[in-house]
Amino acid sequence: MVMFLDFEKPIAELEAKIKELQAMPATPGISIAEDVARLEVKADLLLRQTYGKLTAWQKTQVARHQGRPRFNDYVKMLIEDFVPLAGDRAFGDDKAILGGMGRFRGRPVMVIGHEKGADTEGRIRHNFGMAKPEGYRKAIRLMELADRFGMAVITLIDTPGAFPGIEAEARGQSEAIARSTEMCLKLKVPLVAVIVGEGGSGGAVALATANRVLMLEHAVYSVISPEGCASILWRSAERAQDAAAALKLTAQDLMKLGVIDAVVSEPLGGAQRDPKATIASVGHAISTALAEFKGKDGEAIRRERREKFLALGRTPVFA
């Protein structure tokens, strides 16, 4: 069942009418097929028009849609023989960041990513994808393991940001994020990151300092949430729409700015309408990205990644 966002209400009304007509009992001499077909064409056109001109704030809403595929969904469809690994060997296991070894199209890989949870219980258990220091230290441990055994690393980013609570700060949140980012830069194996939903602040960068940064069409990636930005600039979260436009957080904007390397198309109406097709598209994009590093030695892979990020901002983009 599709959960509709506020701006999708006209689409929801049309689709509800279609279902209502389809559920009507058959009546001799009366055919509703033409009415259903007409409404389906109208609904499809309205969906295309709506998603063809989404604002930055609307894309933020789509990126946060709870029906979008999550880390566990990607792993189930894309990774064979997955073996989950837990704990940072120092404090505990953070359920906001999951990871483990497996095979991606026959190739040994380490997969790490944020998990928000599927329902209320799951979202509480995974802390809504907001990791604490032990989550990033777990990611560091898994990346080190991948580097040692020559496994490519795939990261899936979907977080509002790192957890801002007192306990996280007490355990060294900023240091853990910095160390995770540093570890990304040190790897001698290919690292491909995919922004699949929200890419919030340093909590996202800690897993996305990659050779190739891919981003779903309606995902967002930003230094701060629109609400947080609005609260700072205008002292009111109600200006979130203005902040979203100013932050240039959409995949299309970030592609122009050179922050990401490719945009992965989503099904019409967003990833939530067809999760399996979305995951398949992401799998193809990851495969294409990894193929670029076939035959390259570790030092070249690491050097290319470092130079890629050092080059950000050197070329004027607002000329």
**Tens-level pLDDT at each residue, the chain (319 residues):** 678 898 999 999 998 888 888 877 766 656 677 778 888 899 899 999 999 999 999 999 999 999 999 999 999 999 999 999 999 999 999 999 999 999 999 999 999 999 999 899 999 999 999 999 999 999 999 999 999 999 999 999 999 999 999 999 999 999 999 999 999 999 999 999 999 999 998 999 999 999 999 999 999 999 999 999 999 999 988 899 999 999 999 999 999 999 999 999 999 999 999 999 999 999 999 999 999 999 899 999 999 999 999 888 766 555 4
Segment holding 47, helix H or strand E: helix 33-51
**This prediction's pTM:** 0.91
Q: HSE of 304 in the Cβ direction (CA atoms, 13 Å)?
A: 16
Write out the residue range of the structural domain in which residue 26 sits. 13-53
Is the same domain home to 121 and 27?
no
- The 10 Å Cβ neighbour count of residue 267 is 16
Segment holding 200, helix H or strand E: strand 191-200
Question: In the prediction, which pLDDT does 319 show?
Answer: 44
Is the same domain home to 253 and 137?
yes
Is the same domain home to 23 and 80?
no
Q: For residue 102, which of 89, 126, 85, 123 has the smallest C-alpha distance?
A: 85
Is the same domain home to 174 and 220?
yes
Is the same domain home to 132 and 17?
no
**Is residue 315 domain-resident?**
no
205/223 Cα distance (integer angstroms): 9
Question: In the prediction, which pLDDT does 31 show?
Answer: 64
Which amino acid would we find at residue 276?
K
Is the same domain home to 260 and 293?
yes
Q: How far from chain centre, in Å, is Cα 220? A: 8
**Is residue 4 domain-resident?**
no
Provide the CATH number for the domain around residue 100. 3.90.226.10
Among residues 5, 31, 53, the one where a domain terminates is 53
Is the same domain home to 48 and 68?
no
Question: In the prediction, which pLDDT does 317 show?
Answer: 52
Question: In the prediction, which pLDDT does 199 show?
Answer: 94
Among residues 38, 53, 68, the one where a domain terminates is 53
Is the same domain home to 83 and 137?
yes
The domain total for the chain is: 2
Is the same domain home to 64 and 47?
no
Question: In the prediction, which pLDDT does 179 show?
Answer: 96
**Is residue 8 domain-resident?**
no
Question: In the prediction, which pLDDT does 122 show?
Answer: 93
